[in-house]
Structure 1
Amino acid sequence: MCEHNGFRSAHVRVSDRRGEHGGNCGGERVGERGGHLGRLGHPVGLARHWYQQPVSYSFQPNVKISSSESDSSTTIHCHVHGFYPREVDVKWIKNGRDEIDSEEAPEILPNPDGTYQIRVSVEVTPEEGATYSCHVDHSSLNNEIVVDFKSKHRSAFYILISVTVLGLFLAGLGIFIHKRVKGRKGSRQTVSTVEEDFTS
């Protein structure tokens, strides 16, 4: 039985009170077992087939560097988050070539939005001239991400040097201006004395 209210029926209802398993409604066929076939004979289930196909997509990771310090050592953390698919390679490299073993086996954790995150931490002893960088490799990336760790002590040292140099420059500039002004005053006094001697 089909319903028509001046518009094309939005659905098809199949009745088998008389043992009927097939029929025709508005040019559309109703197949056996109530399967709905379109005008071209394609099962409606074929549309569902396309929606059920796996979708391939990926999200690139975001990388954040942080640190926690104790009296004798520093623990540096590389937090990688927002990536998909799950597989990722994260490691710390010292001086651009030496891989540093992590304190404990890092665990990849899921995010509420379906992406993943991981944190890799290593303990290091501050050394003069040593550099540390976090390297991240993921299938969504064309090239490996490399983020350098910048020590707070090193930043403070550079700030101190910058402030010292700026202070010395300003002090030198002040001395130069003072001498320049003092020299001009001395010249004016000399000229005034000469004029007085000449007029007298």
Structure 2
Amino acid sequence: MQRSCGNEGDTPPRSLGGGDRLRSSLRGGEWGGGATPHQALLPPPVSTAPHFLYQQKCECSFANGTGGEVCYLERYFYGRQEFVRFDSRRGWFEAVTELGEPIAQNWNSQKDLMDYERAQVNTLCRYNYGVMETGQMVGRTVEPLVKISPTKGDPLAHHTLLICTAAGYYPPAIDIKWLKNGQEQTQGVGYDDEIQNADWTYQYQVMLETVPQRGDVYACQVEHKSVKEPISVQWEPQTSDSAKSKVWTGAVGAILGLVFVAVGLYLYLKSRKGEGLEGTPQLTLPAPGSCWLEKHFLQPRPSFLSVEEAKCKE
């Protein structure tokens, strides 16, 4: 948990007011004036810098919720540089730069102020942790949505880049692995930065550069606090729509070609057969009752034939 406040103006102020006004000034960015016993000096005006920035950050860190160590850290910045801080593990203000030395000495000499700072571990950190647990901010989990995206239109092309995206998960920290035919891949793997979305969820991408072959099975395996078992999404290289269209076009063309060849061959053979019949000598038979018919097709008759019949027989 972090809280910050700042102030910006045309020229840097030289001093801060004292007492309670000193604390409210540093916490709320309100500047006071006049010399007091609790005067805290800031850097002298810099003519080349028309603006200044004063910032305070309050941070709470937890180990295993409130059951472990809870730390409170209060930090002060001027011109983007930290100059003094309070760490609850030490219990007093420490100067980070030379600018912070007189300020740390001044604040450490104020008993009420030190009691207030040392109590922040309970009054700010532990208290607000309980509030966030009630409001489901602590312990909230959202399952990631996982998808695989190839970067080329034809996945069978040389060196395809596969991108596994896990999006919309909470809390942060997620583990993504690439598997090829059940084996974890370590070569050609690239990792992107974890990005926080506007709704406090996160997204993360892991890329795999590979040369997929037909029959390979790729899997993106995701492990996250929101799921008990790893989420696995598979991807297999397939022929693209354009390639499929070309294959179908070729197949149809081949079938039509075979049909035309078969029809042409049939007509050719039929015409050759007709020409062969027309060129073959035809058998001419004599008229019924002729000697030739009787000689070749009639059975022999008895010897008592007539003279005409004998002549036919000869």
Greater Rg by CA: 2
TM-score, normalised relative to structure 2: 0.33
**TM-score, normalisation: structure 1:** 0.50
Higher RCO (CA-CA < 8 Å; seq separation 6+): 1
